[in-house]
Amino acid sequence: MFTPQSPSKTINIAFYLVPEFSMIGFSALVDPLRQANSQSGKRLYQWQVVSATGGPVAASNGMSLIADCALGHES
């Protein structure tokens, strides 16, 4: 029987967004991570939004997300 175990360290993820990225695809990746953090009461995952310049990136639906940093400057 499989027994889920919490990772001992926070898993860091960088999402590199390019112009015309799929907002629904991005949301489908981020929301389960957010829910896992919420339900566990721990910070299992943390993420950064990364773009080529560190500036906002427009999705295919016209909405823009502000990047946390430029590619190569992730923390």
| Residue 25 confidence (pLDDT) | 97
Q: In this structure, are strands 11-16 and 57-58 parallel, antiparallel, or unpaired?
A: unpaired
In a domain, 17, yes or no: yes
| Residue 12 confidence (pLDDT) | 96
- The domain that holds 16 is classified in CATH as 3.40.50.880
For residues 35-47, give the mean pLDDT.
96
**What mean pLDDT, rounded, does the chain reach?**
92
Those residues whose C-beta lies under 8 Å from the C-beta of residue 17, and which sit 6 or more positions away, are: 26, 49, 50, 51, 57, 59, 65, 67
- R_g (Cα) of the chain, nearest Å: 14
In a domain, 16, yes or no: yes
Total number of domains constituting the chain: 1
pTM for this model (two decimals): 0.81
| Residue 8 confidence (pLDDT) | 73
